Structure 1
Amino acid sequence: MTHTLSLILQVILSLGLLNVWLVRAGSGTAYRGGSANSLKEEFHAYGLSDGIFYLVGFLKVSCAIALLVGIWVPSLVLPAAAVLVLLMLGALAMHVKVGDPPKKSVPAFLMLAMSSAVVAISLS
């Protein structure tokens, strides 16, 4: 049962991350930090450099791919999910930094909860 839950969460996390970073990066959403209309603008609103934007993007897309491949190569799941936990904690901190209303933090919080569950399942 927990293995199935982990697989479901891996797919949700992966597709969500790939959607945000590869499909909707240039689109405004109600959840963008500050008054940003794109993902890159959101990083600038947080006071982060283009280098950090590209590093975080690389890490998130890599983790998304690792979680999908982890369906067949389980050794990839724990490290990818653990990196996502750290990245989502950072995302939440950035929302707090710029004084965003709690609503804007909901996606990051949900990703944190799901990646934390994957870590917990992987360690059990």
Structure 2
Amino acid sequence: MSSPSAAAPDSAPDSTSARTEVRVRRAPKIPAFMVVGGLIGLLVTLVITPLFPADPQVGLPALVGYFSLYGITAGVVLGALVGIALDRRSQKRARLVEAEHEAVDALPIDGVIDDDLDPAPGSTTR
């Protein structure tokens, strides 16, 4: 890797930079908490439903399917609440750091004029 000072001043691209303070934090992925919560709700439903007597006309599989709607929904809601609580906590632990934003203009290619460049696909020039 070559250092910027080793390049000739003529061939250096034009660049501008600005320093600013930004807030950095580790934010949880709330959809992941919702999916895990839904799976836990399904597992809890699968464990609890067979503990109670089932109606012989309906059957256990239909009863588990019916109550899994409630279990999965409750698990998703609880997972979302846990994710939101952890997100709030991460906002309190955020740090301020100094960042540098640098915009670099590309160097022109030697011997190539803009008219010599290939046209965009689908465009017709004559």
The verdict on a shared fold, with TM-score over 0.5 as the criterion, is: no
TM-score by length of 1: 0.26
Which structure dedicates a bigger proportion of its chain to strand? 2
Larger radius of gyration: 2
Higher relative contact order (CA 8 A, sep 6+): 2
